[in-house]
A and B are shown apart, each in its own frame.
Chain A
Amino acid sequence: MNPRALAVWSAAGLVIALSTGNPAYRAIVLLCGLNLVAARGRPGVSARPLLFGAGIAALIATLLTLLLSHTGAHVLFRLSPGIPAIGGAFTLEALAFGLATGLGIAAVVLAVAPLTLVCEPHELVDALPRPLARTGAAVGAALNLIPGTIRSAREIRDAQRMRGWRAGRVADWPAVAVPVVLTALEGSLTLAEAMEARGYGAQSRTHLATTAWRAGDTAVAVVSGSAAAMFLVLRFSGGAPDWYPFPLLSAPPVTIAAISCCACLVIPVLWPRR
């Protein structure tokens, strides 16, 4: 898929997920993102770390809301009000609102994730507008350093362990943290040297090959862009009602039109793979 078409799709997903607090719409964005990653993800690239991170973020949001928001009609249990911050009633409404917030975070992540999980990094760089091409190349190169830095951090920890270092006291951590930082800096400098030595910045960059724009990309861009625009219209005209569980929990209201807009985000997987 052309990265620019995918960027339009991601923007549409973000618009929908961020413009409403209604978990029903957010859930559809989330499912469309998951579906896209599963169906069009790059071979050999695992989505697990990202999904795990999104899950953790959603869980934290849920717990924080449950712990800190003590309003709502359905009380699940109570802690002594004397306990700072978390003391008081724990309500079903707060739990539901927390879940909706977590769902929103996960939906946002899944709206953006396909950019890195479906497209090659160099495709993204190539798709940047000309004024950003040089910066994009530098960012791409910098991202390339991350796996090496993680590897070297492990190596440094192991090497210091063999010299008697133990991860006990905070005062001992510089023995590992300092070499990790210095090694990363050295790696960055060497990479900068290598880029400069290969003519980085000499003139406007060309590209080996750019991902062609095909009919399917037009369909993805038009359908998702229109769906997001239509959702915004519905949202502000009352056709896509929001949801708020306080003070009394109720089911999220949905309309066929709004659900249809969200469901349009399934479009990338309906088109055949390149």
Chain B
Amino acid sequence: MLGFSGLSYAYPDARAPALDGVELSLGSGLALLTGASGSGKSTLLRVCNGLVPHFHGGVIAGQATVVGRDVLTTPTRELARDVGFLFQDPELQSVYASVERDVAFGLENLGIPSREMGRRVDEALQSCGVAHLRGRAVSTLSGGERQRVALAGVLAMRPRLLVLDEPISQLDPAGAEALVAALDGAIAQGTAVLVAEHRDELAFRHSGRALQIEAGRLTEGVPHSGPAPTSPRVTVRRGRGPAPTEAGWQLSRVTAGYGATPVLHDLELSGGAGEVLVLSGPNGSGKSTLLRTIAGLLPPLAGAVRRAPGRVAYLPQNPGALLHRSTVRAEVEWTLRRAGGAASPDEVLRSFGLCSVAGRCPRDLSSGERQRAALAAVLAGSPSLALLDEPTRGMDEPSRSALVEAVAGLAEAGAGVVLATNDRRLAGEIATRVVQVGEGTAREAFSPPEAAEPC
């Protein structure tokens, strides 16, 4: 199905190759590609359908064939007949505004007759479990629904090789489960699937082949053989830092939403200094709305929001929203200057493992590195309250560890931390409280006295 031999590639103007002597042969079934942020996962995946080098340019050497075609001489649009590609961000890959039309986009490009097209769209929507969304506008879908619609658009083209770049990194557990179930069906029908992913849901049902990439060099990893745990091990951190004191922030009978449309109703919620509160709930449930309300970015429709004095650090879902300086170091220095703290930028960069990329433009980094840079940029300068929206998006294990340490450090220093995340493992590792957001409300999912295991 796919064969790479001595494949090396460097992006335009890059000093080091992104891929270095890759040897790979893939047949049918699932292959799971793992590797640290910036290791070359996305680049390798993009070679499969020719986006690298045809779209991105650069210097490539070696041989690459996919379904019997030479990738280096076949345009991506031709390879699209056999290779389906699903991107990480469900928001940026829909072409048309309506679900049905968006799923049909690839088929229209391939000149499939409209009758056959209708049949394939039906089948693809069914197989991804989104047939009920057929007439909906794409903009009204949740992230999970959008990603499944995007997968349906790819599957409708009946690819022989399906390539997925961190497809569940932005999905809630239910959305991820549904996407994995849809992939099951494709694999059962003989489609070869190559997927890069940090989260381990994709190992649930398959004894997939494991591949690992590091600094552009590909190696065989340890095969996945059994189901991963389906429920998180909840370990509430206790005894670290000061006990939560008086409320660092408080919502009193708050109704929050956009325009005149409330998303959350009549909330009574508060968080103390030194406390790590995790907001959990499906995509679109209102976690970001709640964070923005606590931050003061979204005035409540009713009720009152109170925050203790001090700097509030806020990490939005899209790290690109923050990064505008020419280097990662400049981003950290900018925050430190405005925060007026005495911390050294080097110290901050080191704590997030960013020393090696400190002089690079944040937007040239991989998604995981970029997320870390954004975290460093907002958490520098000892904030009294940190509000983090999906901070583990696209993060590898070292980055997660750095995040956990940073959050623990903030809590120890007496800052309040509120995270919106669907990463159950992260919640289990760092939460002192978990609040479930959904159906217009927010309720305590567990609190330390009942759920905690002393560590």
Q: Which of B87, B96, B314, B324 is in CB contact (< 8 Å) with A179? A: B324
Residues of chain A within 8 A (CB-CB) of B137 are 44
- Name the CB-closest residue of A to B83: A197
Within 8 A of A (CB), among B49-103: 49, 51, 55, 76-78, 80-81, 83-85, 87, 89, 91-98, 100-101
Which of A92-100, A106-114, A205-213 contacts its partner?
A205-213
Write the nearest CB–CB distance from B256 to chain A, whole angstroms.
14
A163 touches B96 (CB 8 A): no
Residues of chain A within 8 A (CB-CB) of B279 are none
Write the nearest CB–CB distance from B138 to chain A, whole angstroms.
8
B290 at the interface (CB under 8 A from A): no
B110 touches A203 (CB 8 A): yes
Residues of chain B within 8 A (CB-CB) of A159 are 314-316, 321-322
Q: Mark A173-211, 1 if CB is under 8 A from B, else 0.
A: 011101100110011001111111111111111111110
A197 touches B101 (CB 8 A): no
Which of B8-16, B114-122, B437-445 contacts its partner?
B114-122
Q: Mark B146-169, 1 if CB is under 8 A from A, else 0.
A: 000000011001000000000000
Within 8 A of B (CB), among A116-137: 120-122, 137
A163 touches B378 (CB 8 A): yes
Residues of chain B within 8 A (CB-CB) of A120 are 97-98
Residues of chain A within 8 A (CB-CB) of B347 are none
Write the nearest CB–CB distance from B264 to chain A, whole angstroms.
18
A141 at the interface (CB under 8 A from B): yes
A156 at the interface (CB under 8 A from B): yes
A148 touches B297 (CB 8 A): no
B92 touches A163 (CB 8 A): no
- Name the CB-closest residue of A to B383: A162
Write the nearest CB–CB distance from A188 to chain B, whole angstroms.
9
A74 at the interface (CB under 8 A from B): no
A162 touches B295 (CB 8 A): yes
A49 at the interface (CB under 8 A from B): no
Which of B202-210, B226-234, B334-342, B446-454 contacts its partner?
B334-342
B110 touches A199 (CB 8 A): yes
Q: Which of B100, B292, B321 is in CB contact (< 8 Å) with A183? A: B321
Residues of chain A within 8 A (CB-CB) of B97 are 120-122, 144
A196 touches B338 (CB 8 A): no
Distance A158 CA – B292 CA, assembled complex (angstroms)? 9
A147 at the interface (CB under 8 A from B): yes
Write the nearest CB–CB distance from B364 to chain A, whole angstroms.
11
A200 touches B109 (CB 8 A): yes
A193 touches B51 (CB 8 A): yes
Distance A174 CA – B157 CA, assembled complex (angstroms)? 43
B154 touches A198 (CB 8 A): yes
Write the nearest CB–CB distance from A63 to chain B, whole angstroms.
30
B376 at the interface (CB under 8 A from A): no
Write the nearest CB–CB distance from A166 to chain B, whole angstroms.
10
- The CB with the most chain A CB atoms within 10 A, among B51, B85, B92, is that of B92
B80 touches A208 (CB 8 A): no
A81 at the interface (CB under 8 A from B): no
Residues of chain B within 8 A (CB-CB) of A156 are 320-322
Residues of chain B within 8 A (CB-CB) of A160 are 321-322, 324
A158 touches B297 (CB 8 A): yes
* Chain B count of residues within 8 A CB distance of the other chain: 64
B267 at the interface (CB under 8 A from A): no
Distance A33 CA – B53 CA, assembled complex (angstroms)? 50
Residues of chain B within 8 A (CB-CB) of A194 are 85, 87, 92-93, 95
Write the nearest CB–CB distance from B26 to chain A, whole angstroms.
18
A140 at the interface (CB under 8 A from B): yes
- Name the CB-closest residue of B to A144: B97
- Name the CB-closest residue of A to B80: A199
B313 at the interface (CB under 8 A from A): yes
A186 touches B51 (CB 8 A): no
Q: Which of A144, A164, A192, A193 is in CB contact (< 8 Å) with B96? A: A144
Distance A178 CA – B334 CA, assembled complex (angstroms)? 15
**Contact A198 to B80, CB < 8 A, known contacts A162-B297, A208-B117:** yes
**Contact A183 to B96, CB < 8 A, known contacts A162-B297, A162-B313:** no
**Contact A202 to B324, CB < 8 A, known contacts A137-B95, A144-B97, A187-B92:** no
Distance A202 CA – B108 CA, assembled complex (angstroms)? 10
Residues of chain B within 8 A (CB-CB) of A161 are 297
Distance A147 CA – B97 CA, assembled complex (angstroms)? 11
- Name the CB-closest residue of B to A160: B322
Write the nearest CB–CB distance from A116 to chain B, whole angstroms.
11
- Name the CB-closest residue of A to B156: A198
Distance A161 CA – B91 CA, assembled complex (angstroms)? 24
- The CB with the most chain A CB atoms within 10 A, among B55, B113, B118, B121, is that of B55
17 A-B pairs besides A44-B137, A156-B322, A208-B100 with CB distance below 8 A are A120-B98, A140-B95, A158-B314, A158-B316, A159-B316, A161-B297, A164-B339, A191-B95, A195-B105, A198-B105, A199-B78, A199-B80, A199-B106, A205-B108, A205-B109, A207-B108, A208-B108
> What are 5 A-to-B residue pairs whose CB atoms are below 8 Å?
A164-B339, A194-B93, A197-B80, A198-B105, A209-B114
Give A contacts to B, CB under 8 Å. Answer: 44, 120-122, 137, 140-141, 144, 147-148, 152, 155-156, 158-164, 174-176, 178-179, 182-183, 186-187, 190-210
